[in-house]
Amino acid sequence: MTHAAASRAAGFTRFTTESLPETRRISQWERHNARALVGLTAQTDPGADFRATELTLALPRLQLAHVTGSAHRVARRPVHIARTPARGAVAYFALRGTGQFLHAEGCETVAPGQGIIVDADQPFERGFAQGLAELAVKVPRVALTRAVGSPNLPRPITFEFAGTSNPAAAALVRLLGAAIAGRSADWEFLEEEILGRFTDLLVGGSARDPLGVAEQFIRTHYRRPELSAAGIAAAAGISERQLSRLFSLAGRTVPQSILAARLEEAHRLLGSAAAVHLSIADIAVRCGFSSHAQFSRSYRAGFGVPPLRHRRELLA
């Protein structure tokens, strides 16, 4: 796509309207977004000079983007949804320029330091009278359903505004910025971290029971060696004592649940032909174990066989 000024490298695509004739900028921008993120119709005021650039990163399950552009409006209508279904949600985080988000229930103002999570398969309109710079991430519906059921969207969020901060949103924005800047070579780990932070945002605003929140937090953060009952309890909004009691009533302990999540992922990686390039030590780190020795002991206790031997058996 040399005519559209797009270039690819290791999952990255950069698209810009700068080298395009003015008469083709809008149509090529629409075409690019339908492929890279979500299908939209774009408009400008008569005589306006439309300029926009988008850097996207395609991961196995997620699509990330950094977008800059001059003043314009976009709309996602039923025809776009039918033609290019998103099958998921998109979070937009404003870095520059205040925008308006119109949806079936009303209108939201999204200023720098704020964002909004939307169901990308419901119609909406967005306007950027001052132009924009933003980060975006699209998450598949199947991942959301597995994590939080059917979240109530759209949902406005604040990540750094008027002296306040939403830790989960701020962490997600930092991850997206680092990913788009190419400051990570471990895309699988990065994807899990982004999904975890995205889930944190939605779970934090839901009415789910504390045990369900705690279990989901473990499933999305088990890779962290420092994961503890204190952090899980804080995420669930209860005390450590309450957390321990809830898990006890469910017939397990918090450490047992963390270990089970780590061993489940280790077993999956050991049996995956796509992960044969990973050493046992690599798998131990990816699954949150503090050392190779700790991983081997835990795996043998859980499955009755050392991880290396089990890999050979699983891949035979």
Regarding whether 47 and 87 lie in a shared domain, the answer is yes
- The tokens for 183 are 């400051």
CATH no. for residue 277? Answer: 1.10.10.60
Say how far apart CA 58 and CA 49 lie, in whole Å.
Answer: 29
Q: Is 196 inside any structural domain?
A: no
Burial string for 134-153 (b: 16+ CB within 10 Å, else e) reads bbbbbbbbebbeebbeebeb
Say how far apart CA 265 and CA 275 lie, in whole Å.
Answer: 12
Regarding whether 6 and 119 lie in a shared domain, the answer is yes
CATH no. for residue 30? Answer: 2.60.120.10
Whole-number pLDDT of residue 165: 60
Domain final residue pick, 152, 185, 218: 185
Q: Is 38 inside any structural domain?
A: yes
Whole-number pLDDT of residue 206: 43
- CA-only gyration radius of the chain, Å: 22
pLDDT digit of tens for each residue in the chain (316 aa)? 333 444 444 489 999 999 999 999 999 999 999 999 999 999 999 989 999 999 999 998 999 999 999 999 999 999 999 999 999 999 999 999 999 999 988 999 999 999 999 999 999 999 999 999 999 999 999 888 877 777 888 888 888 654 456 777 887 888 899 889 887 667 777 787 788 888 878 876 444 567 877 888 898 889 999 999 998 988 877 888 888 988 887 888 999 999 999 999 999 999 999 899 999 999 999 999 999 999 999 999 999 999 999 999 999 8
Domain final residue pick, 169, 185, 201: 185
Regarding whether 238 and 181 lie in a shared domain, the answer is no
Whole-number pLDDT of residue 133: 97
Say how far apart CA 66 and CA 177 lie, in whole Å.
Answer: 8
Whole-number pLDDT of residue 163: 47
Regarding whether 149 and 31 lie in a shared domain, the answer is yes
Q: Is 244 inside any structural domain?
A: yes
From residue 182, how far is each of 10, 17, 56, 174, 175 by CA, in Å?
A: 10, 22, 11, 12, 11
Regarding whether 239 and 164 lie in a shared domain, the answer is no
Regarding whether 214 and 94 lie in a shared domain, the answer is no
Whole-number pLDDT of residue 209: 63
Number of domains observed in the structure of the chain: 2
Say how far apart CA 129 and CA 18 lie, in whole Å.
Answer: 20
Q: Is 201 inside any structural domain?
A: no
Q: Is 44 inside any structural domain?
A: yes
From residue 235, how far is each of 26, 168, 199, 204, 209 by CA, in Å?
A: 43, 10, 11, 8, 12
Q: Is 265 inside any structural domain?
A: yes
- Structural domain that includes position 244: 210-315
Contact 131, 71 (CB under 8 A): yes
Regarding whether 120 and 8 lie in a shared domain, the answer is yes
Q: Is 205 inside any structural domain?
A: no
Whole-number pLDDT of residue 212: 76
- Mutual angle of helices 240-249 and 254-270, in 10-degree steps: 70
Whole-number pLDDT of residue 261: 94
Regarding whether 214 and 175 lie in a shared domain, the answer is no
Say how far apart CA 267 and CA 295 lie, in whole Å.
Answer: 11
Regarding whether 219 and 81 lie in a shared domain, the answer is no
Q: Nearest 5°: CA angle at 228, between 223 and 233?
A: 115
Regarding whether 152 and 217 lie in a shared domain, the answer is no
Regarding whether 158 and 101 lie in a shared domain, the answer is yes
Ramachandran angles phi, psi of 167, nearest 5°: -55, -45
- The tokens for 48 are 């306006």
- Mutual angle of helices 210-221 and 229-236, in 10-degree steps: 130
Regarding whether 287 and 170 lie in a shared domain, the answer is no
Domain final residue pick, 185, 220, 250: 185
Q: Is 204 inside any structural domain?
A: no
